[in-house]
Amino acid sequence: MKLHVVILAAGKGTRMKSALPKVLAPLAAKPLLWHVVETAKNLDAASINIVVGHGAEHVKKAFADEAINWYLQTEQNGTGHAVKQGIPDLPDEDVALVLYGDVPLIGQQTLTSLTDGLAKHDLAVLTAILDNPIGYGRILRDQKNKLSGIVEQKDANETQKAITEINTGILAANVGKLKQWLSALSTDNAQGEEYLTDIVSIAYQQNEHIFASQPQSIDEINGVNSKVELATIERRFQQIQAKQCLQQGLTIVDPSRFDLRGKLSFGQDCLIDINTIFNGNVTLGDNVIIHANCVLSDCEIDDNTVIHPNTVLESCQIGADANIGPFARIRPGTSLADETRIGNFVELKNTQLGTGSKVNHLSYVGDSQVGENTNIGAGVITCNYDGANKHKTVIGSNAFIGSNAQLVAPIKIEDGATIAAGSTITQKVPEKHLAVARSKQRNIADWNRPKKNK
């Protein structure tokens, strides 16, 4: 008996007030639907079947690299009608699990507990107890407390509205039975739609034993129907991730101001200050400190390195015992060796910096290879772009590049060379040479500055 996941993702999401299909709204920089698909993968589902409608082509394009079976719901005739579109190709002897593309926090453990109920039942329903159940379908039970039906809020009487056990919409069923129950649905209700929930009363009338289970956390069942709800779920998602990191030994100064939008790996005794954002895959060694307001994307940082405030790191590697920032930008393709120092308002791109080398202030170094223990002064620019092509700058070890120098690539500065401040260097500088390339200074006496015309 194999598990097949059916995800309903056809809704427009009018209350989102966006041209973007609702299931593509971002949660931790990934579409809502992405989170549900990842959960389905973790369940080792034999197939993932997604029912799309509004913005179908955009949704399919966003998941072009995934092994997904797509089904189109051309008319929005309710959840029962939607599930009908997603199960015709599933084997009758297998199990279908119905999820929703706008309910991203549903957990693997909760779903496993639900589907385990099918060992002795043909239908399993995820319910929950809410203090305020307004808006949800209510769970109906018979005198023996067996689940006998679900009534939607709009169809419920006052007695039924007082029930606090609600339907989450998530269920699992034997595929063959599910097809049979769906074929018996009608539109005789307040919304004139085929309610998926009606299969519960149909199954009950056929004397089927219906299994009910509860989620690990109420947060798991929350859906997204507005930007307010999206923001609420974003914070809850980040709190969950922060708690997991804290439990694994990461020090987070304020978990409410922590954003993980990918995967974070870390060693012992790392500290994360406020408002730091992690994108993609980020790896930290031991004793790494990330100060406030930093953005780290797809980077590796070795032991004992400090990233000072307001620094941006993207697709780069930082060695051990390094100091980066504040207000530094390390762009893709950059690799910094151990004990390097990158200071304030420095930008590096596609550059390799050797052990102990420094770029301390207000400089741009791009497409460069720099040796060990080299000092690059304030305001230095590697002029790597001629308007059409990028060119490389090679600087050896133990070199000294004076402030406000321009190195016009392609160019090579050999070991131990010195570049005088204010020089524009266009030719190779040999080992241990001093290069001076300044225009001659003239001092003009009694100079009168221009005056602004009134």
DSSP of 386-407, one letter per residue?
A: -SS-B--EEE-TT-EE-TT-EE
Q: In the chain, where are the structural domains located?
A: 3-221, 227-435
**Is the confidence at residue 189, as pLDDT, over 90?**
no
Per-residue model confidence (pLDDT) at position 209: 86
**What b/e sequence results for 103-134 when a residue is b if at least 16 CB atoms lie within 10 Å of its CB, and e otherwise?**
bbbbbeebbebbbebbeebbbbbbbbeeeebe
With bands split at pLDDT 50, 70 and 90, how would you rate the model's confidence at 76? confident
* Widest pairwise Cα distance in the chain: 108
Per-residue model confidence (pLDDT) at position 132: 93
Instruction: Give me the percent of the chain exceeding a pLDDT of 70.
Output: 100
**Is the confidence at residue 259, as pLDDT, over 90?**
yes
- For the record, the structure tokens of 99 come out as 């999820």
Q: What does the pLDDT look like over 396-408, one tens digit per residue?
A: 999 999 999 999 9
With bands split at pLDDT 50, 70 and 90, how would you rate the model's confidence at 452? confident
Per-residue model confidence (pLDDT) at position 12: 86
Q: Which residue has the tokens 């097949």?
A: 4
Tell me what the mean pLDDT of segment 336-341 comes to: 98
- For the record, the structure tokens of 221 come out as 């069942």
Per-residue model confidence (pLDDT) at position 191: 84
**Catalytic residue among 58, 121, 361, 391, which?**
361
More confident residue, 449 or 254: 254
Tell me what the mean pLDDT of segment 166-180 comes to: 97
Q: Specify the DSSP element, H or E, that contains 252.
A: strand 251-252
Q: 227-435 has which fold?
A: UDP N-Acetylglucosamine Acyltransferase; domain 1 (2.160.10)
Tell me what the mean pLDDT of segment 13-17 comes to: 92
Tell me what the mean pLDDT of segment 260-270 comes to: 98
Q: Is 434 helix (H, G, I), strand (E, B) or coil?
A: strand
Backbone φ, ψ for residue 10 (5° rounding): -95, -10
Per-residue model confidence (pLDDT) at position 323: 98
Per-residue model confidence (pLDDT) at position 228: 97
Active site residue 209: no
Per-residue model confidence (pLDDT) at position 291: 98
Count CB atoms within 10 A of the CB of residue 11: 23
With bands split at pLDDT 50, 70 and 90, how would you rate the model's confidence at 159? very high
Per-residue model confidence (pLDDT) at position 275: 98
Cα separation, 310 vs 314, in Å, equals 13
pTM for this prediction: 0.90
Per-residue model confidence (pLDDT) at position 454: 79
Tell me what the mean pLDDT of segment 299-303 comes to: 98
**Is the confidence at residue 107, as pLDDT, over 90?**
yes
Provide the terminal-to-terminal Cα distance of the chain, rounded to the nearest Å: 90
Which residues, in sequence order, are bridge partners of residue 376?
Answer: 359, 401
Average pLDDT of the chain is 96
Amino acid at 287: N
Ranking 57-66, 180-189, 255-264, 342-351 by mean pLDDT, the lowest is 180-189
Per-residue model confidence (pLDDT) at position 453: 86
Cα separation, 376 vs 381, in Å, equals 10
**Is the confidence at residue 50, as pLDDT, over 90?**
yes
Residue 255: exposure state from Cβ atoms within 10 A (0-12, 13-18, ≥19): middle
Tell me what the mean pLDDT of segment 194-198 comes to: 93
Tell me what the mean pLDDT of segment 88-112 comes to: 97
**Is the confidence at residue 241, as pLDDT, over 90?**
yes
Per-residue model confidence (pLDDT) at position 451: 87
**Is the confidence at residue 441, as pLDDT, over 90?**
no
Strand order, beta sheet including 271-272:
251-252, 271-272, 289-290, 306-307, 323-324, 341-344, 358-361, 375-376, 400-401, 418-419, 434-435
Query: What is the CATH code of the structural domain delimited by 3-221?
Result: 3.90.550.10
